[in-house]
Each structure stands twice: as structure tokens, then as C-alpha cells.
Amino acid sequence: MASFYSLYIKNPNNVRPEEIDKSKRLLQRVIPDCKKYNINYRAILLEELGDAKKVDAILKFYGVE
């Protein structure tokens, strides 16, 4: 999730709109499963990125929160 977002931010022309849509649809299925099994995806992203603002930006980009 974070790698794809980073790629998009660095150079949006490298990512096709259909790839963005596909990623968003995938996460719309994954995030509810995380919630169902009490997986704190926000904490995982925060540990990976080390910045709450980046986590918020990623989740907003994907339409998760």
C-alpha cells in the first residue's frame, strides 16, 4: 500500500488510472478484514512510515478513512 502510494506521489505519470482504481478496490476488501480480525493497519503503517501525517495521507488517498 505504502510503496504504491509512494510511486504515485513521486511520479503520477508512471501509474495508470486503472491501477489506482484497482488498488482502491482491493483495499476496500482488505481493510474490513483487518477490522474483523483486529489487525491495526494504522499502527502497521505508522511503524513502517514513522509519520502519522503520511499514514493519514495514504488512507485518504485510498478512501479508507
Task: Record the cell numbers describing residue 1, joined without a space.
Answer: 500500500
What are the pLDDT tens digits along the chain (65 aa)? 889 999 999 999 999 999 999 999 999 899 999 999 999 999 999 999 999 999 999 999 999 87
pTM for this prediction: 0.81
Res 23: pLDDT: 92
- The alpha carbons of the chain give a radius of gyration, in whole angstroms, of 12
Phi/psi region, residue 11 (left: phi>0; alpha: psi -120 to 50; beta: rest), is: beta
Phi/psi region, residue 31 (left: phi>0; alpha: psi -120 to 50; beta: rest), is: alpha
Domain extent for 33: 2-62
* Cβ–Cβ under 8 Å, residues 63 and 28: yes
Q: How many distinct structural domains can be found in the chain?
A: 1
